[in-house]
């Protein structure tokens, strides 16, 4: 049988692009198909009126040049392997938290400075604070000592187990623990535990008790080692570089080519059908879609369908992109902020405001004398389904919510409303439509008490169909989906007879 390519990748999200780049560099032919005009999915950028806005992600791990200081540098290692340059700018503060109970805490790259500032705010808890964050360091140290590969690849698992038996055993024990329960072993102050909840919620959209300790060890320790960086030109620089890497080694990336069906015969994926009816065949298929979109939309056989509640579904987002006069942002203002007005509402739609102003680091994303602001809150498609895109009522609803966000944000940036020169708004319906994500979701989450290894992995119930992206282990966030792409490529390469070299 003649194949269109060895591997077809559905969707140019970061997980799929990472898998495609590593497979192509290894000598496998790949075709990546993206319904939109630009790559990246939630890690993309778009331009309006001279401003460059990050569609979603703007806090990036994994870009340190020093592998001894931040050895989870998957992005640096990946782009080094591809021979592609991605200039980045270091950010000295990961997130500046503004929370009830007068909790105002910047998370500095310098870990000791961060721990001292937290201990000053909670002087009776210094010992507990240091013990808790030491636990996260232990997870980080284990993970940074192990080569990245698929947990479903028996050759990889046995090899790592033989080389690092004590580390693997220690990590296995930690997979049964949650971040929140670990914190409660050493910390008693209720307000401090609320802060720990926000440390989890900032990326996992769950409280600390529901967040696996292993995931926390990646995000909350690596920020003090590899650090946080911003790609010059905006978030879109990352997927653009991956596309350059794919094409450099002869791979294909096609835009405005939407996949509508995964072709399955006798339980085996054999290719895809495009919206225009064209059929492409391959030895393997990688889906970057959510688990619900893959199983309930792209796979037509009802035997593969899954119920809506098989996994806990993360919320969607309402996003506000602003071009503002630079005078509204004072000197010394940090790039990333999270603020909460009331603890009773922080996990409700709109309760937590995520805020970033990346032009503080990279002036190239805004016209001279201007700044870019991106503010967003959790939301649900169910709150918008009675409205139709383009209708007057839909636009009024978006404008009303944006005005409320600006009013709340003015507690942080007085005079913001008068400084706005450009406003672009996106509802959960935008996420659902543009990103082809079921109900606009941020992806599946674990139910409280589940083990982190119960996350969907790279294999699926269909032979030769694999998954990457935030529906797979380890979960949400750009560095996490990059890892999923690495492990997916590793598994496929071994199955197809030419294993990857470890990053």
Distance CA 176, CA 158 (A): 21
Q: Identify the residue with better confidence: 31 or 161.
A: 31
Q: Are residues 296 and 262 in the same domain?
A: yes
pLDDT tens column, 23-41: 999 999 999 999 999 999 9
Q: Which domain holds residue 201?
A: 111-224
Q: Identify the residue with better confidence: 244 or 456.
A: 244
In a domain, 98, yes or no: no
Q: Are residues 238 and 198 in the same domain?
A: no
pLDDT tens column, 109-145: 999 999 999 999 999 999 999 999 999 998 888 877 7
- What is residue 387's DSSP assignment? S
Structure confidence at residue 157 as a pLDDT band (50, 70, 90): low
**Does the predicted model carry a pTM greater than 0.85?**
yes
Structure confidence at residue 316 as a pLDDT band (50, 70, 90): very high
On whether the CB atoms of residues 262 and 10 are closer than 8 A, the answer is yes
Q: Are residues 396 and 484 in the same domain?
A: no
In a domain, 355, yes or no: yes
Domain count, the chain: 3
Q: Identify the residue with better confidence: 349 or 57.
A: 349
In a domain, 19, yes or no: yes
pLDDT score of 410? 95
Q: Are residues 303 and 450 in the same domain?
A: yes
Residues 276-310: b if buried by 16+ CB within 10 A, e if exposed: eeeebbbbbbbbbbbbbbbbbbbbeeeebebeeee
Q: How many CA atoms lie within 13 A of 88 on its CB side?
A: 27
Distance CA 81, CA 21 (A): 10
Q: Are residues 349 and 288 in the same domain?
A: no
Q: Are residues 265 and 345 in the same domain?
A: no
pLDDT score of 359? 97
In a domain, 52, yes or no: yes
Q: Which of 203, 224, 245 is a domain's end point?
A: 224
- The full length of the chain comes to 503
pLDDT tens column, 425-480: 999 999 899 888 999 998 898 887 777 777 888 999 999 999 999 999 888 889 88
In a domain, 94, yes or no: no
In a domain, 241, yes or no: yes
CATH number for the domain spanning 450: value is: 3.50.50.60
What stretch of H or E contains 405?
A: helix 392-409
Cis-peptide into 474, omega within 30 deg: yes
Q: Are residues 320 and 304 in the same domain?
A: no
Handedness of CA 397, 398, 399, 405 (dihedral sign): positive
Q: Are residues 14 and 42 in the same domain?
A: yes
Q: Are residues 244 and 297 in the same domain?
A: yes
Do the bridges between strand 93-99 and strand 336-340 make them parallel or antiparallel, or are there none, so unpaired?
parallel
In a domain, 155, yes or no: yes
Evaluate if residue 367 carries a pLDDT over 60. Answer: yes
Q: Which two tokens stand for residue 248?
A: 């450099």
CB atoms < 10 A from the CB of 23, how many? 30
In a domain, 440, yes or no: no
Mean pLDDT of 410-437: 94
pLDDT score of 69? 55
Q: Which of 192, 224, 256 is a domain's end point?
A: 224
Q: Are residues 370 and 408 in the same domain?
A: yes
Q: Are residues 162 and 137 in the same domain?
A: yes
Q: Which of 224, 252, 277 is a domain's end point?
A: 224
Extended strands (E) in 136-267? 228-231, 252-255, 259-265
pLDDT score of 438? 92
Q: Which two tokens stand for residue 417?
A: 């409303």
Evaluate if residue 172 carries a pLDDT over 70. Answer: yes
Q: Are residues 320 and 405 in the same domain?
A: yes
């Amino acid at each position: 049988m003649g194949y269109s390519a060895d591997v077809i990748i559905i969707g140019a999200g970061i997980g799929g692009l990472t898998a495609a780049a590593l497979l192509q560099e290894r000598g496998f032919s790949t075709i990546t198909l993206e319904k939109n005009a630009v790559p990246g999915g939630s890690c993309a950028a778009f331009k309006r009126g001279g401003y460059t806005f990050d569609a979603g992600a703007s806090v990036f791990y994994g870009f340190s040049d020093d592998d001894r200081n931040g050895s989870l540098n998957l992005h640096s290692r990946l782009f080094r392997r591809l021979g592609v340059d991605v200039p980045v700018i270091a950010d000295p503060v990961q997130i500046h938290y503004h929370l009830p109970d007068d909790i105002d805490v910047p998370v500095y790259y310098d870990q000791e400075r961060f721990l001292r500032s937290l201990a000053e705010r909670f002087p009776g808890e210094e010992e507990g604070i240091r013990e808790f964050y030491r636990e996260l360091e232990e997870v980080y140290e284990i993970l940074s000592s192990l080569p990245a590969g698929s947990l479903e690849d028996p050759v990889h698992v046995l090899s790592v187990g033989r080389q690092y038996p004590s580390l693997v055993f220690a990590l296995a024990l930690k997979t049964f623990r949650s971040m929140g329960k670990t914190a409660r072993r050493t910390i008693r102050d209720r307000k401090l535990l609320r802060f720990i909840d926000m440390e989890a919620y900032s990326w996992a959209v769950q409280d600390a008790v529901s967040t696996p300790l292993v995931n926390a060890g990646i995000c909350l320790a690596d920020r003090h080692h590899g650090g946080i960086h911003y790609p010059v030109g905006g978030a879109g620089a990352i997927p653009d570089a991956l596309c350059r890497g794919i094409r450099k080694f002869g791979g294909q990336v096609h835009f405005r080519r939407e996949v509508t069906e995964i072709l399955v015969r006798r339980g085996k994926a054999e290719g895809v059908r495009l919206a225009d009816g064209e059929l492409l065949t391959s030895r393997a298929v990688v889906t970057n879609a959510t688990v619900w979109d893959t199983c309930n939309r792209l796979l037509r056989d009802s035997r593969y369908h899954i119920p809506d509640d098989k996994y806990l579904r993360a919320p969607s987002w309402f996003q506000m992109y602003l071009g503002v006069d630079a005078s509204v942002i004072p000197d010394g203002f940090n790039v990333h902020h999270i603020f909460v007005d009331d603890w009773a509402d922080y996990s409700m739609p709109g309760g937590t405001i995520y805020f970033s102003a990346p032009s503080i680091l990279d002036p190239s994303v805004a016209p001279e004398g201007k700044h870019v602001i991106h503010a967003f809150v959790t939301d649900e498609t169910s709150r918008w389904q009675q409205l139709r895109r383009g209708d007057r009522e839909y636009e009024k609803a978006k404008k009303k919510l944006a005005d409320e966000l600006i009013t709340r944000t003015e507690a942080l940036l007085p005079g913001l409303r008068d400084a706005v020169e450009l406003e672009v708004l996106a509802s959960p319906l935008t996420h659902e439509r543009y990103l082809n994500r079921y109900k606009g979701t941020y992806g599946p989450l674990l139910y409280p008490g589940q083990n982190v290894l119960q996350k969907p992995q790279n294999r699926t119930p269909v032979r030769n169909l694999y998954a990457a992206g935030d529906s797979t282990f380890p979960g949400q966030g750009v560095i996490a989906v990059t890892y999923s792409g690495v492990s997916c490529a590793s598994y496929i390469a071994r199955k197809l007879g030419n294993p990857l070299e470890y990053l």
